[in-house]
Structure 1
Amino acid sequence: MHSLSDYDFTLPPELIAQLPLSERSASRLLHVDDASFGALDGASLIDRQFTDVVDLLSPDDLLVFNDTRVLKARFFGVKATGGKVEVLVERVIDNRTVHAQVRASKSPQTGTQIRLAEAFDVTVGKRVGEFFTLIFPADVFELIETHGRLPLPPYIEHTADAFDETRYQTVYAKQPGAVAAPTAGLHFDLALLERLREKGIGFAYVTLHVGAGTFQPVRTENLADHKMHTEWYTIDSATVEAVRATKAAGGNVVAVGTTSLRALESASQTGELLAGGADTALFITPGYRFKTVDRLITNFHLPKSTLLMLVSAFAGYDVIKAAYAHAILQKYRFFSYGDAMLLTYRRSSGKGAEK
């Protein structure tokens, strides 16, 4: 299960959601029920509404959300020579410095300036891998928020508008730094969060700033040759304590999205969850032993993507393959503005699960 072609599938283009639904929680939810015994090696597929998640979780459970906030990270500009440039901020380094993708007919040279959004000049610093260092003339976050454009995913064909600026953020977004939304969280509205609280389900937060690399396909047939992109995460002591208390009470740690899962598992590599922050290049494929996360709420992912490999590791390769086939047949909406799944970690059964 370690070849790229194992993670390919054909998706009808009309199933790629181009717009969000008018109500966040009106999405559908494919429940992969690991407690029911059917044709899927002990799992069955149940078509539900996203609001059913209230009934599918228990009061001892803990939902872990990624509270990153998407930056208006895309800029259009011109070099001093007059050549057109497109800039996508990948990571904020400090209040004056970013790493960014720069698309131009000819790469800008160190020390030159680029005028962005017809509003301000940035100075080009040293190259860092595929990214350029850009030095801003004033506070990075203020300039980005004032002059930047929301960077919708490449498979969404319209230009971001005011509606996207609201709906491509979670209602609990707090820490600015992402260039893509943690999309599983887009299904939660304030009313649904209140219902979950009233049931006694716990909430905790991590921060993982999603990078543009999340959309890049794997290009090596042998997955062992793939170099995973890095993302920065932070987990505080309150979240660590909430996870420990949940485990002690027999509840489930439920990651809202693959980004929350990636942060939790990255911080659990010693065998227990530790507070702190770091870059993570954790690449999860079938055979990985999950250390903290018990259940996962996630959207449907791109063919040949690292995220499809991650959910296959979590729920079992054959289960995910059947779930995606079912979702296509039942015309679920795919990708960032699409519908969701609820998965349970399969510790021992199913092709591709851990041994």
Structure 2
Amino acid sequence: MNVIVPKSVEICTKLADFDYDLPKDLIAQQPLENRDDARLLILYRNTGKIEHRKFYEITDYLSDGDLLVLNNTKVIPARIRGNKTSGASIELLFIEELEENQWKVLIKSRAKLREKEEIRIDSKIISVNLLGRSEDGAWYVEFNKDVDIKRIMNKIGEMPLPPYIKRKKDSNALYSLDQERYQTVFAKKAGAIAAPTAGLHFSQNILKNIKTLGTEIEFITLHVGLGTFLPIKTEDIRNHQMHKEYYECSEEVVKKIKKTKEKNNRVIATGSTACRVLETVAVNGKAPQLSGWTSLFIHPPYHFQYVDILLTNFHLPKTTLLLLVSAFAGRENIMNAYEIAKSKGYRFFSYGDCMMII
């Protein structure tokens, strides 16, 4: 156990204040054999105290009457590789369906793109009309009406792993493993292009144990998109604009949150996505918007209204995710905890270990 004495509270607005160095060998490249074998760092945000546990011991920190909120979004196999008719390779990452046969897509190609492209995908020549660029660098594209993109995704699409997870072209076993493990066991509503990674640690057995304990479990949906993982490009963090992401939260969940807090029990948000949904709903007070698009950017200082405990992975430096956890626990607590996690060999990022901030 490590005890950290928090320093005086300081409001940091510079992006450089949320930077840290990380050895490459601490970036998890594949999941553990068992989901709930991940390490669990417990951080008490009021004192800075830290404990080191395993994820399967999470029930030691939950109580009868608490409410655990999970994000049931489902990652779609949104990355499709193909070739231009010239032979040049091309990679498409489907971000958002705009309307029938129209998508917002990130395109990676060394060859210059033309307004009307023909691409060979799944042994077929597909005509793609480039409609224009968005501010975030994506393309708006339109496919012929006889092209069923979702069918192609389900047939040959790959899980959209983040770029720090490396896969060789012949890594068929790992590609197959990613199809299962870059997905939570409770994934239900398809639409995300990245996993809500804090939820990856839950096994069906852990969920059963949590319910037996008397902790209630409820689900919200946030389809993880560009908003979650696009980098911050402004030196003053307050000038960053979050991209919108679609969410859903039922009236029943809101009622249970209020009931939980009235009884002085705790609401546990699993991941930044669940946290942002709950705080988005809370912002609207007595007339909450239960579904729609959220661009809520949580950074220090921020007053959390619904979330009492945050379950989260270890995040990349200078990201909106690191800012969110810093808002919840305090920047210096987080930076100290990250340094300790590094010294003890914790695994970082999507397939890495977990942190519970109490």
Partner of 1:108 in structure 2? Answer: 114
Query: What is the distance in 2 between the residues matched to 1:122 and 1:232?
Result: 29
Query: What is the distance in 2 between the residues matched to 1:125 and 1:217?
Result: 25
Query: What is the distance in 1 between the residues matched to 2:165 and 2:89?
Result: 23
Query: What is the distance in 2 between the residues matched to 1:216 and 1:52?
Result: 33
The equivalent position to 2:37 in structure 1, one of 26, 51, 56, is 26
The equivalent position to 1:215 in structure 2, one of 202, 218, 229, is 229
Helix, strand or coil: the match of 1:194? helix
The equivalent position to 2:78 in structure 1, one of 65, 69, 73, is 73
Q: Is 1:10 aligned to residue 21 of structure 2?
A: yes
Partner of 1:92 in structure 2? Answer: 97
Correspondence 1:181-330 to 2 at 5 A: 181-271=195-285, 274-330=288-344
Residues 46-76 of structure 1 show CA distances to partners (whole Å, capped at 9, x for unaligned) of 0111112111011111111111111111111
The number of residue pairs the alignment matches comes to 337
Q: Work out whether residues 184 and 299 of structure 1, in 8 Å CA contact, stay in contact via their aligned partners in 2.
A: yes
The letter for the 1-side match of 2:119 is I
Residues 247-266 of structure 1 show CA distances to partners (whole Å, capped at 9, x for unaligned) of 22221111111111111112
Q: Is 1:142 aligned to residue 147 of structure 2?
A: no
How much has 1:84 moved relative to structure 2?
Answer: 3.0
Unaligned runs of 5+ in 1: 35-40, 345-355
Helix, strand or coil: the match of 2:205? helix
The letter for the 2-side match of 1:71 is I
Partner of 2:5 in structure 1? Answer: none
Query: What is the distance in 2 between the residues matched to 1:222 and 1:274?
Result: 30
Helix, strand or coil: the match of 1:25? helix
Structure 1 residues 335 and 254: alpha-carbon distance in aligned structure 2, compared to 1, 3 A threshold: same
The equivalent position to 1:131 in structure 2, one of 125, 129, 138, is 138
How much has 1:117 moved relative to structure 2?
Answer: 3.5
Q: Is 1:158 aligned to residue 167 of structure 2?
A: yes
Question: Sequence identity of aligned pairs in percent?
Answer: 40
Query: What is the distance in 2 between the residues matched to 1:235 and 1:81?
Result: 47
The equivalent position to 2:182 in structure 1, one of 157, 168, 173, is 168
Q: Work out whether residues 237 and 275 of structure 1, in 8 Å CA contact, stay in contact via their aligned partners in 2.
A: no
Query: What is the distance in 2 between the residues matched to 1:93 and 1:25?
Result: 37
How much has 1:273 moved relative to structure 2?
Answer: 7.5
How much has 1:113 moved relative to structure 2?
Answer: 4.0
Query: What is the distance in 1 between the residues matched to 2:23 and 2:304?
Result: 32
Query: What is the distance in 1 between the residues matched to 2:306 and 2:125?
Result: 45
The equivalent position to 2:126 in structure 1, one of 110, 113, 121, is 121
Correspondence 1:40-55 to 2 at 5 A: 42-55=47-60
Which stretch of structure 1 is more off in the superposition, 149-158 or 221-230?
221-230
Query: What is the distance in 1 between the residues matched to 2:331 and 2:268?
Result: 20
The letter for the 2-side match of 1:134 is V
Query: What is the distance in 2 between the residues matched to 1:166 and 1:212?
Result: 22
Structure 1 residues 152 and 19: alpha-carbon distance in aligned structure 2, compared to 1, 3 A threshold: same
How much has 1:244 moved relative to structure 2?
Answer: 2.1
**Aligned residues: CA RMSD:** 1.9
Structure 1 residues 322 and 335: alpha-carbon distance in aligned structure 2, compared to 1, 3 A threshold: same
Query: What is the distance in 1 between the residues matched to 2:267 and 2:100?
Result: 34
Structure 1 residues 139 and 277: alpha-carbon distance in aligned structure 2, compared to 1, 3 A threshold: farther
Helix, strand or coil: the match of 2:131? strand
How much has 1:85 moved relative to structure 2?
Answer: 1.8
Query: What is the distance in 2 between the residues matched to 1:284 and 1:107?
Result: 36
Partner of 2:348 in structure 1? Answer: 334
Query: What is the distance in 2 between the residues matched to 1:310 and 1:263?
Result: 13
Helix, strand or coil: the match of 2:282? coil
Unaligned runs of 5+ in 2: 1-11, 169-173
* Misfit runs of 4+, over 6 Å: none
Q: Work out whether residues 122 and 134 of structure 1, in 8 Å CA contact, stay in contact via their aligned partners in 2.
A: no
TM-score between the two structures when normalised by the length of structure 2: 0.88
How much has 1:200 moved relative to structure 2?
Answer: 1.1
How much has 1:178 moved relative to structure 2?
Answer: 0.7
Helix, strand or coil: the match of 1:29? strand
TM-score between the two structures when normalised by the length of structure 1: 0.89
Partner of 2:9 in structure 1? Answer: none
Q: Work out whether residues 264 and 273 of structure 1, in 8 Å CA contact, stay in contact via their aligned partners in 2.
A: no
